[in-house]
Chains A and B, each alone.
Chain A
Amino acid sequence: MTIKIRLARFGRRNAPFYNIVVAHARTARNSKPLEVIGTYDPIPKADPYDDSGRLHKDIKLDTLRAKYWIGVGAQPTDTMWRLLSMVGIMHPKYRDQKPRTAPPLPADIQKPEAASPST
């Protein structure tokens, strides 16, 4: 059976929170997975004492385990593919894009348009 890297929804109503899990493809969404390799908080948040209006999303990921599971044939779902492509574990699926590199300095954050590649 296929092994998937996918999201399992936790959290509350209107307050989603996802576990990034490795599980057999045909098991239920929130059933006990093979392994939990991270979390994804889809609600964008602002930094405290930051007035720029720039929001961020927090993801926790064990990249080593993610790479291992990809290496043994696990298939990320589209959403996970997108996230994994951000850290360079997968090639971007839908757009011919190089894996994006992290901007090194906070100075770039001030001008996000300049720092991020045009999409």
Chain B
Amino acid sequence: MPPRIPTNPSASSASALVRNSFASPCTSQSLPGGRAGFSTTPIRERSTNLRRAFLEWTRKVASHYRRPNSEGPSYLINGRPSPASRNRLRPFPLNRNFQSESVLNDQARELIWGKVMRKGESLKAVSAELGVDLTRVAAVVRLKEVEKDWVSKGKKLATPYSRAVLGMLPTKSLREGVENQPLEPINELHIHAATQKQLFWPTSESRQFTREDAAKAFHPKMLSADERVPHPELIQMEKDLLRNMSPNEARTRFINAAEESERKAAQRQMKKAMAEEQATTKINTPRFEFRFREVDSELVGKNGRAPNVVGWKYGMPHYDRKKGMVKIPTSVP
């Protein structure tokens, strides 16, 4: 934008506000190119009611929101400036179904990292103990690792930013060795699409129609809710407790079961990698490594058009460049 010739400093103070409003981008941006740099015509003094109302608001109401509140989050309260606690955590005044949820503070993240990386506790056990979602526990550890890596390399952390942002958000602190209020529900069941339909499934009245049966009714391969939740071990622990097992023993069994399930998951991954390794012959040359993967070229399906036939297919078009096809990466390994 060309430099603007400064307005007359001796202009009355009453018009200062108006002038300022004109210098705002709302009006200046609407004139592409703006005034020529050599023009000496005074800027037309004009202000709309809307703009005046806005400036009024900036002076009276917006001062609450301009700087971060030292006591924590400060969200909009429509019209009513009284500190109504019920919509304090509602960033959108018109949307009652969206709340600003608390995030873990730095000390809580450090605690989780210490439990997983230092003490070697299983993710599931940490999740159940602290009431933090399983995936969140893993993510916290992953991000903490990046942070520690940055520190060890002397890379600068965005500490002031972190402090400021966490000061604006509702935060959750966790303490070691104490019963913590959970951050979020940890045993949430994903509503499977197959379970969203209504079924007419006549059974005898005397039949014990359990969750297992319900799952089978939806789909023959569907697992019951007890197995699909993130923490099936917790259900087992509660069952143990109902069978009058001592809490300590139930807890130990839970921890062992959690470790076992994680070990099994790791083993599955390992096995997959091993099978892949077995089927691949790696030949090193000075420039590249050639990886020969053994395949079966005879698995072509009934009509020779099975989806996983080796190689590009003959006699059928590729739609990969068609309109509407995703042409950017869909995943980053």
Query: Chain A interface: which of B105-113, B224-232, B285-293?
Result: B285-293
For residue A65, which residues in chain B have a CB less than 8 angstroms away from its CB? 297-298
Q: Are A32 and B314 in contact, with the CB atoms below 8 A?
A: yes
From B284, B287, B297, B314, give the contact of A38 (CB < 8 A).
B297
What mask results when residues 21 to 39 of chain A are scored 1 for a CB within 8 Å of chain B, else 0?
Answer: 1000000000011011111
Q: 6 shortest A-B CB distances, which residue pairs?
A: A62-B297, A19-B311, A10-B312, A56-B289, A116-B284, A48-B333
Q: How far is it, in angstroms, between the C-alpha of A87 and the C-alpha of B282 when the chains are bound?
A: 9
Q: Are B296 and A62 in contact, with the CB atoms below 8 A?
A: yes
- Answer whether A62 and B294 are a contact pair too, CB < 8 Å, given A17-B312, A32-B315: yes
Say whether B283 faces chain A, with CB atoms less than 8 Å apart. yes
Q: Which of B281, B288, B297, B314 has most A Cβ within 10 Å? A: B297
Q: Are B290 and A59 in contact, with the CB atoms below 8 A?
A: yes
- Answer whether A58 and B293 are a contact pair too, CB < 8 Å, given A87-B283, A103-B284, A112-B286: yes
For residue A48, which residues in chain B have a CB less than 8 angstroms away from its CB? 333
Say whether B62 faces chain A, with CB atoms less than 8 Å apart. no
- Answer whether A119 and B286 are a contact pair too, CB < 8 Å, given A39-B310, A62-B296: yes
What mask results when residues 300 to 333 of chain B are scored 1 for a CB within 8 Å of chain A, else 0?
Answer: 0000000001111011000001000000000001
Say whether B295 faces chain A, with CB atoms less than 8 Å apart. yes
The chain A residue with its CB closest to the CB of B281 is A102
Q: List 22 A-B contacts (CB under 8 A).
A: A10-B312, A12-B321, A32-B315, A33-B314, A35-B297, A36-B309, A36-B310, A38-B311, A39-B311, A39-B312, A55-B289, A57-B291, A58-B291, A60-B292, A60-B293, A63-B292, A63-B294, A83-B290, A86-B290, A102-B282, A102-B283, A119-B286
Chain A interface residues toward B at CB < 8 A: 10-12, 17, 19-21, 32-33, 35-39, 44, 48, 54-63, 65, 83, 86-87, 100, 102-103, 108-109, 112-113, 115-116, 119
The chain A residue with its CB closest to the CB of B289 is A56
Chain B interface residues toward A at CB < 8 A: 281-298, 309-312, 314-315, 321, 333
- Answer whether A109 and B289 are a contact pair too, CB < 8 Å, given A62-B297, A102-B282, A102-B283: yes
The chain B residue with its CB closest to the CB of A62 is B297
The chain B residue with its CB closest to the CB of A36 is B311
Q: How far is it, in angstroms, between the C-alpha of A62 and the C-alpha of B289 when the chains are bound?
A: 19
CB distance from B290 to the nearest CB of A (A): 5
For residue B290, which residues in chain A have a CB less than 8 angstroms away from its CB? 56-57, 59, 83, 86
For residue A108, which residues in chain B have a CB less than 8 angstroms away from its CB? 284
CB distance from A21 to the nearest CB of B (A): 8
Q: How far is it, in angstroms, between the C-alpha of A115 and the C-alpha of B289 when the chains are bound?
A: 11
The chain A residue with its CB closest to the CB of B314 is A32
Q: Are A62 and B288 in contact, with the CB atoms below 8 A?
A: no
CB distance from B153 to the nearest CB of A (A): 14
- Answer whether A62 and B291 are a contact pair too, CB < 8 Å, given A19-B312, A32-B314: no
CB distance from A53 to the nearest CB of B (A): 11
Q: Are A54 and B289 in contact, with the CB atoms below 8 A?
A: yes
Q: Are A87 and B292 in contact, with the CB atoms below 8 A?
A: yes
From B285, B286, B293, B296, give the contact of A59 (CB < 8 A).
B293
Q: How far is it, in angstroms, between the C-alpha of A3 and the C-alpha of B285 when the chains are bound?
A: 29
Q: How far is it, in angstroms, between the C-alpha of A85 and the C-alpha of B311 when the chains are bound?
A: 21
For residue B315, which residues in chain A have a CB less than 8 angstroms away from its CB? 32
For residue B281, which residues in chain A have a CB less than 8 angstroms away from its CB? 87, 102
Q: How far is it, in angstroms, between the C-alpha of A84 and the C-alpha of B61 when the chains are bound?
A: 77
Q: How far is it, in angstroms, between the C-alpha of A95 and the C-alpha of B314 when the chains are bound?
A: 36
The chain B residue with its CB closest to the CB of A114 is B284
From A36, A63, A103, give the contact of B282 (CB < 8 A).
A103
